[in-house]
Amino acid sequence: MFDLCVVGAGLIGSAASKYASRGSSVCLIGPDEPTKEERLTSSPRDIYGAHYDEGRIYRQSTSDPVWAKLAQKAIPRYSEIERESGVDFATEVGCLSVGSRGGNYITALKEVVQKDGIQAETLSGTEVCSKFPFLSIPNMDEAVFESHFAGYISPRRLIKAQITIAKKNGCQHIQEAVRSVSRVLHDDSNKCEVVMEVVTDSGRKVLAKKVLLCTGAFTAFRKLLGTEVSPDTKLFGLSVTKLEISEEDAVKIKAMPSILYFGEGGADWTKDYPPDPRAPVVFYMLPPIRYPDGKYYIKLGHDPVPRMFHTGPQMKQWFVQGPDPRLIRQMANMITSVVKGVKVLSYHGDSCVVDVAPSNRPYIDRVHNQLGVAIAGNGYAAKSSDEIGRLAVELLMKDQWDIDIPQNLFHVQLKSGCGNPTSRL
C-alpha cells in the first residue's frame, strides 16, 4: 500500500513523484518512450506523449501573468535539480519574444516584465538583427529579450533528472500504462478501508491511499476519473518541423536564442506559411540542438489550423502518421526565412498534442479527497512542470496552497460522456 500513486511519468508526473517521495511512500506509473515499432499503426500501443524531444523553450515572462508566475517559481530551481540528479537538461541561450510593435501580444508581455521585475531588454527589429546578424526580423517589429533564466530544456533529460531524484527518495517506478483508477474496499488485518486501486494494461494492481493523475491529453481515454467522466479540455494537434544543419553551421549561429513570434511577418519571409494570408504569423523556434542521432536540428512548431481530436484512435493516428508533408515543407521554408546563411541538409516532421482548458490555465485540483489532477498543460507547461507538480502534491497530500495565485483559477472542470458539465465526483 502506497501513500500516493502518481499516474503519468511525463514532465508533471515525474516532478510530482519527486516532491511526494520526500516524505511519503510513492509509486510512479507511466510507460517509457515508444520504440520505433510502437510508433506503427499496427502496434497495440495507444499511449504517447509530447515530451519525447530535446527542445522546449523556457523563460520567465509570458503574456499571461499566471503562467509567468508559475515559470518564475520553477525555473530558478533548474540548477538545484541538475545538481541533485547529476543530469543536465537546461541550456541558457536566452529567449527572444517578437511581435508587432504596439500589438496586444508584445504589449501584454512588456506589462508582465515590468510588473514582475523580470530582467529583460526591449529591442526594435533593427536592434535584434544587429545583435543577432544571422536572424531576419522585420524592422517595425518589437522584441523582449531575456538573457537570464531563459533558453531551452531537454524534456527527456528533465524527466530523467526528476525520476532519478524520486528513486533516490525510495519512489517505485512501474513502466506501464494505466487502464483504470477506482475506489475499492480494502480489508487488511480486520480493518476495512476505502483505498484507490490502479490497474495497468498488464493487469497489475497497485493500491494507494491517494492517486494523482498527471496524464495529459490521454486522461479522457482511460477509466481514470470514473465511468463516462472526462476533463473539460480540447485536444489539439500541433505540427513540428525539424530542419537538419551541419555542425559547422550550428557553431556559426551558436548565439541564437529561443524565439517566439506573433506578428505580421517579414516582407522577405516565405509567403506560403501560414497557408491563410489573413492569419497572423505565429510560431516558436529552437536554436540548433544536437539530438540523440548526433545531428543538429533547428525546430519550428505551431499549426495555423490545428486539428482537434475526440477519440484515442484519432490521437494515435496523429502521433504515428505525423503532419501533412506540404505543411512540413512550408514550415521548413519559414525556418530558412528567419535564419540566414545555413545550408539545409534535410528536414522532417513530428507531432504534438496539447490539452487546452477553457481557462487556458492548468487544472491543479482534487476531484475528491483521494484523487487529484495536474493536467491541461495548454502548450505552456514544460518549463513550469516542476512547480505544477509541487503544487499538486502539496494540495492533495497536505491540503496546502502556498503560492500567491488564487487556487480557484486552477479548479478542474469535468464533463459527462455526452459533453455536459458535471460536478466533481
CATH classification at residue 199: 3.50.50.60
User: Three-class SS of residue 25?
Assistant: coil
Q: Determine the pLDDT at residue 416.
A: 79
Q: Determine the pLDDT at residue 282.
A: 94
Task: Write down which residue in 356, 374, 405 finishes a domain.
Answer: 356
Task: Write down which residue in 319, 341, 356 finishes a domain.
Answer: 356
Residue 134 lies in a domain: yes
Q: Are residues 37 and 165 in the same domain?
A: yes
If you write DSSP's letter for every residue of 292-328 in order, what string do you get? TTS-EEEEEEEEEEEEEE-SHHHHHHHHHH-S-HHHH
Q: Which of 198, 233, 202, 197 is nearest to 218 (CA)?
A: 233
Average pLDDT for runs of 10 along the chain of length 425: 97 98 97 91 91 96 95 98 98 98 95 96 97 96 97 98 98 97 87 94 97 96 88 95 98 98 95 86 97 97 85 94 93 97 97 94 97 96 98 98 97 78 50
Q: Determine the pLDDT at residue 425.
A: 44
Cα–Cα separations (whole angstroms), residue 388 to 15, 110, 268, 342, 372: 8, 24, 41, 38, 12
Inter-residue contact 34 to 26 (CB < 8 Å) = no
Q: What is the CA radius of gyration of the chain?
A: 22
Residue 388 lies in a domain: yes
Domain range enclosing 320: 95-147+234-356
Q: Are residues 347 and 279 in the same domain?
A: yes
Task: Write down which residue in 322, 337, 356 finishes a domain.
Answer: 356
Residue 69 lies in a domain: no
- In one-letter notation, the amino acid at residue 330 is Q
Residue 79 lies in a domain: no
CATH classification at residue 289: 3.30.9.10
Q: Are residues 207 and 242 in the same domain?
A: no
Q: Determine the pLDDT at residue 420.
A: 57
Q: Which of 160, 120, 151 is nearest to 383 (CA)?
A: 151
Q: Determine the pLDDT at residue 329.
A: 96
Q: Which residues contact 124 (CB under 8 A, 6 or more apart)?
A: 101, 139, 141, 142, 143
Q: Are residues 322 and 216 in the same domain?
A: no
Q: Are residues 224 and 246 in the same domain?
A: no
Residue 88 lies in a domain: no
- In one-letter notation, the amino acid at residue 195 is V
Q: Are residues 138 and 262 in the same domain?
A: yes
- For the stretch 367-425, pLDDT in tens is 999 999 999 999 999 999 999 999 999 999 999 999 999 999 999 999 976 455 554 44
Total domains, the chain: 2
Q: Are residues 366 and 348 in the same domain?
A: no
HEC profile of 157-210: HHHHHHHHHHHHCCCEEECCCEEEEEEEEEEECCEEEEEEEEEECCCCEEEEEE
Q: Is the peptide bond before 133 cis (omega within 30 degrees of 0)?
A: no
